[in-house]
């Protein structure tokens, strides 16, 4: 009986042992397959992934992408340290490691790596601390962003060139408007004035009668031509902007705004001209025309205040109206005023000149728009900045 019990117990033990061994083998096989899949994913990753020993700073393990980017092969890894390929001062590297150890995980941003053949590549780096083989190591995931940064730089250069070209086009357009305006003033207006003088002489010689009536109609037509041409000249290119300066041009524009709309436009201007360059004068004057057009459209019958001042080497032009106001967020980055320079174009021109446009308004509470630019432009703006006389 005891022998039978012992045999039964032995059989049960053997069954349990076999099951344990089988399950252990299955578990080990699963672990090996899982590790194999993990390594396959790491090796096929487009990012450079490598492990760094925290004590010695040696590379423990690295995927193929790391070796392709840096040029180091498997035989180079045993003696390769972090200081060999990170193109930053040793102290900077050590400071970053201390920060990682204190936080456990850290996005380092863009870092320079040095390849085996001496090339510099720009990498976007993430680091976190993991345990491998019972030891804490740094797991680094780095992506090569050299081409992207180069493309970004090219894009910014093209944008700067386009902005400079747009500025030159705008100034060329203003120059052509100025040329046409001067031509109308020096030819059409002068000719019309001469005709008016001759008609006045003729009137003095003609007897009263139908001829005088016809002559009066002709003189009225010539008066209308002179008036309309003079208005066209001022709208094309106000002489005050070039002959006197921005201060005089704003004063004239405010009077013109009141004459054409019947609305009051108060101005607060410096006592003398500010000595601004041509581009600054043109941009601020065109922007003011746009803002007054917007005020007339969206705040009819309301008072408009215009203030120009120069503080600490910068010029500020502020336009305030007491209209219904609006939500600045509703403008969007590409909103424009039909037929005018447009708020988007104003923003672009000011931005290119190192200036800005600011909105202070709320629905139902009026609008304050401030334009600010440097009083003098740097030569890099692409336009000669000669001060007005």
229 vs 105, more confident: 229
The pLDDT of 253-266, averaged and rounded, is: 86
The pLDDT of 142-155, averaged and rounded, is: 89
At 147, the pLDDT band (50, 70, 90 cuts) reads: confident
Please give the Cα distance from 315 to 295 (Å, whole number): 22
CATH entry 3.40.30.10 includes domain 240-389 = no
335 vs 57, more confident: 57
Give pLDDT, residue 192.
Answer: 86
Please give the Cα distance from 380 to 204 (Å, whole number): 62
Please give the Cα distance from 205 to 217 (Å, whole number): 17
pLDDT at position 105 over 70: no
pLDDT digits (tens, 9 = 90+) for 10-39: 666 666 666 666 566 665 555 555 555 555
The pLDDT of 262-288, averaged and rounded, is: 87
At 327, the pLDDT band (50, 70, 90 cuts) reads: low
The full set of domain ranges for the chain reads: 43-144, 157-237, 240-389
pLDDT at position 119 over 60: yes
Please give the Cα distance from 387 to 278 (Å, whole number): 7
In the predicted model, what is the mean pLDDT of the chain? 79
Nearest to 195 by CA among 227, 161, 218: 218
Out of 66-75, 211-220, 238-247, 375-384, pick the least confident. 375-384
Give pLDDT, residue 111.
Answer: 92
pLDDT digits (tens, 9 = 90+) for 47-88: 889 999 888 899 988 988 999 889 999 899 888 999 999 999
What three-state secondary structure class fits 139?
strand
pLDDT at position 276 over 60: yes
At 9, the pLDDT band (50, 70, 90 cuts) reads: low
363 vs 199, more confident: 199
The strand order across the sheet containing 356-361 reads 265-268, 304-311, 314-321, 367-374, 356-361
Please give the Cα distance from 188 to 1 (Å, whole number): 137
- What is 43-144's CATH number? 3.30.450.20
What three-state secondary structure class fits 340?
coil
pLDDT digits (tens, 9 = 90+) for 233-252: 877 878 888 888 899 989 98
pLDDT at position 194 over 70: yes
At 132, the pLDDT band (50, 70, 90 cuts) reads: confident
pLDDT at position 326 over 90: no
**Run of H or E residues at 201:** helix 190-205
């Amino acid at each position: 009986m005891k022998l039978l019990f012992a045999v039964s117990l032995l059989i049960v033990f053997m069954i349990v042992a076999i099951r344990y061994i089988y399950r252990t083998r299955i578990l080990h096989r699963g672990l090996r397959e899982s590790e194999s899949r993990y390594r396959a994913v790491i090796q096929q990753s487009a990012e450079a992934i490598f492990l760094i020993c925290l004590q010695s700073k040696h590379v423990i393990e690295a995927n193929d992408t790391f070796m392709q980017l840096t040029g180091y092969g498997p035989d180079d890894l045993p003696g390769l340290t972090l200081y060999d390929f990170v193109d930053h001062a040793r102290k900077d590297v050590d400071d970053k490691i201390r920060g990682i150890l204190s936080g456990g995980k850290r996005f380092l941003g863009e870092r320079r790596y040095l390849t085996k053949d001496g090339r510099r590549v720009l990498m976007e780096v993430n680091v976190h601390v993991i345990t491998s083989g019972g030891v804490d190591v740094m797991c680094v995931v780095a992506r090569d962003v050299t081409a992207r940064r180069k493309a970004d730089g090219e894009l910014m250069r093209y944008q700067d060139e386009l902005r400079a070209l747009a500025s030159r086009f705008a100034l060329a357009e203003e120059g052509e408007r100025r040329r046409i305006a001067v031509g109308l003033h020096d030819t059409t207006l002068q000719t019309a004035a001469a005709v008016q003088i001759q008609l006045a002489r003729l009137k003095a010689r003609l007897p009263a009668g139908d001829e005088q009536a016809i002559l009066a109609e002709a003189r009225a037509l010539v008066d209308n031509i002179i008036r309309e041409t003079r208005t066209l000249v001022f709208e094309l290119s106000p002489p005050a902007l070039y002959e006197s300066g921005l201060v005089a041009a704003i004063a004239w524009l405010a009077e013109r705004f009141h004459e054409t709309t019947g609305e009051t436009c108060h101005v607060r201007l410096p006592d003398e001209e500010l000595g601004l360059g041509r581009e600054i004068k043109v941009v601020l004057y065109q922007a003011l025309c746009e803002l007054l057009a917007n005020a007339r459209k969206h705040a009819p019958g309301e008072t408009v205040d215009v203030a120009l001042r120069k503080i600490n080497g910068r010029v500020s032009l502020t336009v305030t109206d007491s209209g219904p106001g609006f939500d600045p967020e509703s403008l969007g980055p590409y909103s424009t005023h039909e037929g005018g320079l447009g708020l988007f174009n104003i923003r672009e021109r000011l931005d290119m000149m190192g200036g800005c446009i600011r909105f202070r308004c709320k629905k139902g509470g009026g609008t304050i728009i401030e334009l600010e630019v440097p009083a003098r432009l740097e030569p890099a703006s692409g336009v000669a900045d000669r001060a007005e006389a």
